[in-house]
Amino acid sequence: MLQTVATADPFIPRRARSEVVRKAFFYTVIALVAAIFFVPFIYTLTTSFKTLPDAANVTFLPHPWTTSAWHTIWSDYDFKTYIKNSVFLAVVITVCNLFLSGLGGYAFARLKFPGRELLFLLVLGTLMVPDQLRLIPVFVMLTNWHLVGNFNGYILINLVTATNLFFMRQYFLTIPKDFEEAAKLDGAGYFKTFWRVMLPLALPAISALVILQFQGTWNDFFWPLILFGQGNPSHYTIQLGLAELNFQYGVLWPEICAGSIIAILPILAIFVAFQRYFISGVVSAGVKG
């Protein structure tokens, strides 16, 4: 009690005015900065409802409003196929990553086997191999196995990532062993213990993994460009389709803006719903790194 008074005391005479000024200053700054972050997205959204000549006018509201750009990219430029492809890849790869990095993370966290530390070092070592180095050999390997130009090669190289496996292992290490011992007493095997006990306990980690992996695959541009970016548009993802629209019809601003909104919107929706997982994921990665 005495201490609180002592530390707060020097503030009291000056607080009232300086606090108001400070607050006003911060709200002004933050509103300006927020405008810089919002205006581009809002402007893009409203442009997607403009006609082509109107898109040359620097005005926020379309005159007249039209949904023709949305119709065009949906039917003429086949964005529905690109969305389907992107959703398919993101779902398959996220499920594979969840299962395999969960299983692997559990084994590295809990099961004892000779060479475990060495193999775990190998997992961490993969983080040091950059994409630009493995690009050529991986492309050559996948070409030899006829896995280029379709989704199989892309799924295969993305089945599980070291980041996800490491993340799951770290989470499993924080779970008390009592739960598994109880399961063991009930006669559950290793897989059943993982599936019925450990995985449900790791729900916060799983949520973060699912969201971040879905976002990563949805936004991925580099590997899709290399593995199915040349040639057949039936395999294009949304990012490839948008890049192609950009290169081919760079002045069709309403269509391009509509395409950009489609490429962003699902991630925005997931972000609004689950933002704390994004933020905790980034921060925990930062603290560990």
Partner 1 sequence: MFGVRLREAGWGYGFVAVPIAVFGLFFVYPFGYAVYISFFHWGILGKQSAGTGTFNYAKVLHDPVFHIALKNVAEYTIGVVPLTMGLGLSLALVINQKIRGRNFFRSAFYFPSIASSVAITTIALYIFNANGLFNHIIGSRTPWFQSASTVIWAIVGLNSWTSAGTAMLYYLAALQSIPTDVYEAAAVDNTGAWRTFWKITFPLLRPANFFILVVFGIGALKLFDQAFIVGGGSGGPNNSTQTPVLYIYREAFSNFDFGVAAAAGVIYFVIIFGLTVVQRLTIGRQDAY
> How near is the Cβ of 69 to partner 1 at its closest, in Å?
13
Structure tokens at 158: 């993305």
- DSSP label of 235: G
Q: How far apart are CA 82 and CA 228, in angstroms?
A: 12
Q: Which is nearer to partner 1, 89 or 107 (CB)?
A: 107
Q: Which of 31, 207, 188 is nearest to 102 (CA)?
A: 207
Residue 53 near residue 242, CB atoms below 8 Å: no
Q: How many CA atoms lie within 13 A of 160 on its CB side?
A: 16
Cα distances (Å, whole numbers) of residue 89 to 54, 136, 219:
36, 22, 11
Least separation, in Å, of the C-beta of 234 and partner 1? 19
- Using the minimum distance from each CB to partner 1, give the nearer residue, 34 or 182: 34
**Can you give the length of the chain in residues?**
289
Minimum CB separation from partner 1 for residue 221, in Å? Answer: 5
Q: Are 102 and 168 in contact (CB under 8 A)?
A: yes
Closer residue to partner 1 in complex, CB, 94/259? 259
Spatial contact of 70 and 250, defined as CB atoms under 8 Å apart? no
Q: Minimum Å distance from CB 90 to partner 1?
A: 12
Between residues 85 and 104, which has the closer beta carbon with respect to partner 1? Answer: 104
Q: Which is nearer to partner 1, 8 or 203 (CB)?
A: 8
Nearer to partner 1, 203 or 283 (CB): 283
For residues 125-149, one letter each, b for 16 or more C-beta atoms within 10 angstroms of the residue's C-beta and e for the rest, the string is eeeeeeeeeeeeebbeebeeeebbb
Under a CB-based contact definition with an 8 Å cutoff, are residues 193 and 200 in contact? no
Minimum distance, C-beta of residue 123 to partner 1, in the bound complex (Å):
6
The minimum distance between CB 64 and partner 1, in angstroms, equals: 20
The least distance separating partner 1 from the CB of residue 22, rounded to whole angstroms, comes to 8
* CB nearer to partner 1: pick between 91 and 135: 135
Distance CA 13, CA 112 (A): 64
The rounded distance, in Å, linking the Cα atoms of 262 and 45 is: 10
